[in-house]
Amino acid sequence: MRIAFKLAYRNLIGAGLRTWLNVLVLSFSFVIIIWAKGVLVGWDHQAKTDMAQWEIAQGQYWHKLYDPYDFFTIADSHAPVPEAFQAAIDQQAMVPILVAQGTIYPEGRMMPILIKGIKSDQTLLKIPAYKLDTISDAIPVVIGANMSKACHLKKGDRTILRWRDSQGTFDAAEIEVVEVFSTLVPSVDAAQVWIDLKTLQEKLNMPDEATLFSFGALEHQPAEQGDFLLKTTKDLTSEIDDMIATKSKGQAVFYGILLLLAMLAIFDTQILSIFRRQKEIGTYVALGYTRREVVGLFTVEGAMHAVLAAGLAAAYGIPFFIWQSKVGFTIPMDTSEFGMAISPTMYPVYSVGLILSTTLIVLITTTVVSYWPSRRIAKMNPTEALRGKIQ
Amino acid sequence: MIKFLFKGLWRDKSRSRMPILIVAVGVALSVFLHAYITGMMGDSIEMNAKMSFGHVKVVSKAYAENMSQMPLDLALMETTDLTQRLSQEFPTITWVERIQFGGLVDAPDAEGSTMTQGPAVGMGVDLLSEHADEVERMNLAQSLIQGRLPGQPGEVLLSDQFARNLKVNPGDAITLIGSTMYGGMSYYNFIVSGTVSFGVKVLDKGTMIADIQDVRLALDMEDAATEIVGFFSIGYFDGDIASNISHQFNDKFTETPGDEYAPAMLTLKDQPGMGQMVDLGAAMGAIITGVFMFAMALVLWNAGLLGGIRRYGEFGIRLAMGEAKSHVYISLLYESVMIGIMGAVVGTMFGLFFAWLLQTYGLDLGDSMKGSSIMLPTVLRARITPVDFYIGFIPGIVSTLIGTALAGLGIYKRKTSQLFKELEV
Amino acid sequence: MKQIINIMVAFLLVVPSMAQPTANDLLKKIDQNLSSKNRVFESEMTIHGKRASRTVVSKTYSVGDKQAFTEYLSPAREQGTKMLKLENQLWIYSPSTDRTIQISGHMLRQSVMGSDLSYEDMMDDRKLTEIYDGQVLRTETLDDRTCYVVELIANVSDVAYHKRLMWVDAERFVPLKEELYAKSGQLLKQTVMSEVLKIQGRWFPTKMVYKDMLKQGDGTEFKVLNASFDQDIPDYLFTKAALKQ
């Protein structure tokens, strides 16, 4: 068998450009598949990381009545901060957030929004809450870039915010936008303003109350704490999982087509080899090779394309992968019109499993495709083959 | 000469069959892939277009400013006329009137008093007229969970989860409480004909879909609609066509400047979040197609090379018979162009055929996508665009030609002595 | 609407007083003055929408502050719609659907007939003297009438408006203007009353313009077409069964 590999190797190298074209295409399949899958995993990570950093940290506790899809639940979904959470909050491992309904009146238009109270000294989430300390005769608020665009409020702009306290009494005050932040997480951006938690608790007459908590590293994660129910990261990011699952299924078809194309090249090469090298085949048989051995020889030769391709892919792919995982893959489009100051960049993440499985798939496919045309050899008449007569 | 070469190719199957087959398969794969990528990238966009945004949408200027609040009082009036004018001006676009509204759905107990109530986001679409294509457009039949689609006035579809929350079943009566376009209170009874699920949290929470005529009666919107939605006859969103049309429209239909109820046209890209999606789809599609085309060019190049090598023996004989090397070479190039063209034609046909199959029947990903809050299509579909008719020709012909040209260079290196060795059979 | 009537009715004053009265005196006098067994009146509400205005005509029967029954007379779409308020419950009957619908919870915060009033505004039937502490701030001239400016600050927490300012006609003791404030002191809503007429010996402002001050728009106009007091109103009117008749 060793001789088979040696022979195969020599034959391939001897074929020059033909082999290298095949190998190049095949190596392409390696790199593209690994990269594209890496981007998808990276996207998944990025989306989840963004969500974690901006909104959910490592998980949340929701008031049992809270339903972000049902505005009517919001007025009732608040309760005092459970005793058990206090220590974690003091250690910055947990951030209480109070949610209320409100109305803003930019340019005299009524806009229903959510008011979210967050501690200005929190460091768990990326919401620039520290800006809420800004000294102003109006209530300082921070809003997302999309919100800023929707309500035409820029940094420094003011408008009236109206809300009702826990007893239903109307209250209103001027707010000043002290910061506009850019985020890729719409659920902390769209139709909401962030204000200081203490101020909101005071204004709503809900001292020490909260609607939900985002927590970081938390030793105890009971499924329920008072009126609050645990929402794990898995629950909260299921939408991203769904999206990634659809995308991977969609991508799989693309890999299939790419592999098919590479296999087309291998197939063509194999057919030609067998056609052109009949005398050689005849000679092998005359020398005492069984037909199966000859088939094996040609199969190994075809499959070796994949081995060479893996080598080539490693040669230019590894630096490319490393570079990509550092600078990330930024989708070339103009994002400014969407009110985003940043472009979504995905940093590909490659796993050993991903690389191994891709290599294995390419190797097996190549072997099968190499074997297929080689079967013809088994049907050849050795004497005719020896004469080089086309069969 | 072309005829001669063609005959040669045609009669000598070993010269033509394999190369054409390879080119054809390569081209078919490219065409199919491009259609598939276009379909995949465009699917979520089309789904959003069909459910709510349209490819273009006509609303009143004031409505456009306050769209998120679904302000009925800012709806378009005299929409029959407007729709007719739109159809005349832009005959290639299908125009449909729709009403989006908010309200409260109230389910009665046996005495007719309130049993359960819930807030609803409603849509009035043409479900009952003769040429109603909205059922198909919105994929309602496939989304049905219980009961049936509305078959007569006064019937309504509720999202399944909503119906369960309200404890109503198909056949039960509900009352829509809303406000009319003029701000009056409105009450309207419906019979629930069936329940639907779109697999999207926001929609499944509290959606009701009724025939637009019922909604007009209910909300006092005679000859009015919140929007007139347009769908391109090509079946997918094209940003250039859309911006072109919206410019034409905004020039022609805005008679009185400053009238905030004058109709204004928005394209899909103007809608929240959609511009991003369209651009992202286009960018990803271009990258994937580019990479693939490059790979295919290499494969066809190789195929051209192999095709040339196959015929070394033949060249030897032709050279021995005194044919000039350049003549052999040029005829080889001609042949490769013919092979390229034939392969590309056959390949494009097959590629289009398979793409058409995937476009028509789709590839069902199953119901694993249910319950998501973003609209995700569960069926993968290809989409054939004009590009697909020529995209395969470029690599199909050019790459084959380059491969052949390289392989053919060998002709010039040939020595007659070698030839006879090869002919020793 | 009911609330407006409450306010209006609450501030009708017949006994003029020469000395500046205290706010509580004013409120009490208004209450005493208006303590009729019941009232019946027909009114017209004009809602200025962004695009067009609508006028709704209704007839209201009320006994005390706890019971009220309203029937809508026009326009055609609204005709026959009836509303019943008993204590803190509210039902609406719509003839086109033959349904009696209870308005509760969040629905109460919705606007009534597209006006600048919510159902909730109609539901609070507590007397102003019960929930507000008053103080006469000053006298002021409003539309050529001398007015006491009364400030009312809520003494309970569950009220919609923490502070009210009221301009009371010093001669006829009729409120001519009222401003509703948020806890922060932000002006939220304003009511201007005019066309004060004498009905059955009582001064009665028959026109009010109600406006949400934060929003663009012309507000809601309310006009009393005719009013009568101490009528024979059958008890069955204040039952759910009456809605369907």
pLDDT band at A98 (very low <50, low <70, confident <90, very high): very high
Residue with tokens 């109609």: C122
Name the DSSP class of B372: B
Whether the per-residue pLDDT at C18 is higher than 80: the answer is no
- How far off is chain C from A163, nearest CA to CA, in Å? 9
Q: Are residues A249 and A202 in the same domain?
A: no
Q: Among B40-54, B369-383, B387-401, which is the least confidently predicted range?
A: B369-383
- Of the spans A92-101, A333-342, B389-398, B410-419, which averages the highest pLDDT? A92-101
Q: Does residue C245 sit within a domain?
A: no
Say whether residue B104 is in contact with chain A using an 8 A CB cutoff.
no
Q: Does residue C16 sit within a domain?
A: yes
Residues of A in contact with B201 (CB under 8 A): 69
CA–CA separation, B412 and C3 (whole Å): 104
Give me the domain span that covers residue B363: 2-46+277-422
Q: Are residues B17 and B72 in the same domain?
A: no
- How far off is chain A from C234, nearest CA to CA, in Å? 35
CA–CA separation, C167 and C163 (whole Å): 14
pLDDT of residue A336: 41
Q: Are residues B67 and B150 in the same domain?
A: yes
Q: Are residues A252 and A365 in the same domain?
A: yes
> Domain end: B210, B239, B271, which one?
B271
CB pairs < 8 Å spanning B and C: 76
DSSP codes of every residue in B173-189: EEEEEEE-TTS-EEEEE
Whether the CA torsion A293, A296, A298, A301 is positive or negative: it is: negative
pLDDT band at B371 (very low <50, low <70, confident <90, very high): very low
List the single best residue of B65, B185, B260 to mutate versus C (max C Cβ within 10 A): B185
- How far off is chain B from A84, nearest CA to CA, in Å? 32
Q: Which residue of C has its CA nearest to A160?
A: C214
Alpha carbon of B144 to those of A291, B102, B156, B168, B198: distances in Å?
Answer: 60, 22, 12, 15, 9
CA–CA separation, B318 and B169 (whole Å): 84
Q: Are residues A276 and A196 in the same domain?
A: no
Touching subunits of C (3+ CB pairs, under 8 Å) are A, B
CA–CA separation, B149 and B196 (whole Å): 9
The reply to whether residue A170 touches residue C183, judged by beta carbons under 8 angstroms, is yes
Mean pLDDT of C175-195: 90
- Which of B112, B179, B261 has the CB atom closest to C51's CB atom? B261
Q: Are residues A7 and A119 in the same domain?
A: no
Q: Are residues B58 and B198 in the same domain?
A: yes
Q: Are residues A350 and A249 in the same domain?
A: yes
Q: What is the pLDDT of residues B31-77, one digit of tens each?
A: 888 888 888 777 777 877 888 888 999 998 888 877 777 788 888 88
CA–CA separation, A119 and A129 (whole Å): 7
Mean pLDDT of B296-305: 78
Q: Among B88-102, B296-310, C64-78, which is the least confidently predicted range?
A: B296-310
Q: Are residues B109 and B122 in the same domain?
A: yes
CA–CA separation, A273 and A286 (whole Å): 19
**The pairing of beta strand B56-60 with beta strand B76-77:** unpaired
Residues of A in contact with C188 (CB under 8 A): 162, 170, 172
**Based on the structure, what is the number of domains in chain A?**
2
Nearest to B15 by CA among B277, B331, B257, B323: B331
pLDDT band at B416 (very low <50, low <70, confident <90, very high): low
Contact assessment for residue A25 and residue B22, using Cβ atoms and an 8 Å cutoff: no
pLDDT of residue B214: 93
Residues of C in contact with B172 (CB under 8 A): none
Contact assessment for residue C61 and residue C237, using Cβ atoms and an 8 Å cutoff: yes
Which residues have a Cβ under 8 Å from the Cβ of C14 and sit 6 or more positions away?
C33, C173, C201, C202, C203
Whether the CA torsion B13, B18, B22, B28 is positive or negative: it is: positive
- Of the spans A25-34, A55-64, A330-339, which averages the highest pLDDT? A55-64
Give me A134's structure tokens: 């800004």
Which residues have a Cβ under 8 Å from the Cβ of A245 and sit 6 or more positions away?
B368, B369
Contact assessment for residue B378 and residue B198, using Cβ atoms and an 8 Å cutoff: no
- Which of B62, B104, B112 has the CB atom closest to C107's CB atom? B104
Give me B275's structure tokens: 């511009």
Beta bridge partners of B228: B58, B97
The pTM of the whole model exceeds 0.80: no
Q: Are residues A108 and A152 in the same domain?
A: yes
CA–CA separation, A245 and A239 (whole Å): 10
DSSP codes of every residue in A32-100: HHHHHHHHHHHHHHHHHHHHIIIIIBTEEEEETT--TT-GGGTTT--EEPPGGGHHHHHTTSEEEEEEE
Q: What is the pLDDT of residues A261-297, one digit of tens each?
A: 888 888 888 887 777 777 778 788 888 888 788 888 8
Contact assessment for residue C161 and residue C181, using Cβ atoms and an 8 Å cutoff: yes
pLDDT of residue B316: 76
The reply to whether residue C157 touches residue A169, judged by beta carbons under 8 angstroms, is yes
The alpha carbon of residue B63 and the mean position of all alpha carbons in its chain are separated, in whole angstroms, by: 28
Q: Are residues A252 and A196 in the same domain?
A: no
Residue with tokens 């009456």: C242
- Which of B73, B106, B182 has the CB atom closest to C101's CB atom? B106
Contact assessment for residue C3 and residue C62, using Cβ atoms and an 8 Å cutoff: no
Q: Does residue A68 sit within a domain?
A: no
pLDDT of residue B190: 94
Q: Are residues A262 and A369 in the same domain?
A: yes
Residues of A in contact with B371 (CB under 8 A): 238, 242
Q: Does residue C160 sit within a domain?
A: yes
Whether the per-residue pLDDT at A377 is higher than 60: the answer is yes
**Based on the structure, what is the number of domains in chain C?**
1
> Domain end: B239, B271, B303, which one?
B271
pLDDT of residue B13: 66
Torsional class of A203: left (φ above 0), alpha (ψ -120 to 50), beta (otherwise)? alpha
> Domain end: A209, A229, A248, which one?
A209
Q: Does residue A268 sit within a domain?
A: yes
Nearest to B267 by CA among B300, B241, B302: B241
Q: Are residues B21 and B94 in the same domain?
A: no
CATH of the domain at C104: 2.50.20.10
**Based on the structure, what is the number of domains in chain B?**
2
Q: Does residue A220 sit within a domain?
A: no
Q: Does residue A15 sit within a domain?
A: yes
Alpha carbon of A283 to those of A3, A6, A381, A385, B266: distances in Å?
Answer: 16, 18, 12, 8, 74
> Domain end: B218, B251, B271, which one?
B271
Give me the domain span that covers residue C28: 2-240
Q: Are residues B142 and B60 in the same domain?
A: yes
Touching subunits of A (3+ CB pairs, under 8 Å) are B, C
Alpha carbon of C123 to those of C67, C72, C85, C109, C118: distances in Å?
Answer: 10, 18, 8, 10, 9
Task: Tell me what percent of the residues of chain B surpass a pLDDT of 70.
Answer: 88
CA–CA separation, B408 and B311 (whole Å): 9
Give me A361's structure tokens: 């798939």
Collapsed DSSP state (helix, strand, coil) of residue C144: coil
Length of chain B: 425
Q: Are residues A251 and A205 in the same domain?
A: no
- Which of A70, A253, A272 has the CB atom closest to B205's CB atom? A70
Q: Are residues A278 and A368 in the same domain?
A: yes
pLDDT of residue C239: 87
pLDDT of residue B148: 92
Q: Does residue C35 sit within a domain?
A: yes
Give me the domain span that covers residue A154: 95-209
CA–CA separation, B89 and B230 (whole Å): 12
Peptide bond between residue C75 and the one before it cis (omega within 30 degrees of 0) = yes
Cα atoms in the 13 Å half-sphere on the side-chain side of B389? 2
CA–CA separation, C225 and C54 (whole Å): 16
Q: Are residues A380 and A246 in the same domain?
A: yes
Q: Are residues B239 and B102 in the same domain?
A: yes
CA–CA separation, A40 and A35 (whole Å): 9
CA–CA separation, B303 and B19 (whole Å): 7
Beta bridge partners of C189: C180, C212
Which residues have a Cβ under 8 Å from the Cβ of B24 and sit 6 or more positions away?
B342, B343, B344, B346, B347, B350
Q: Are residues A338 and A300 in the same domain?
A: yes
pLDDT of residue B377: 58
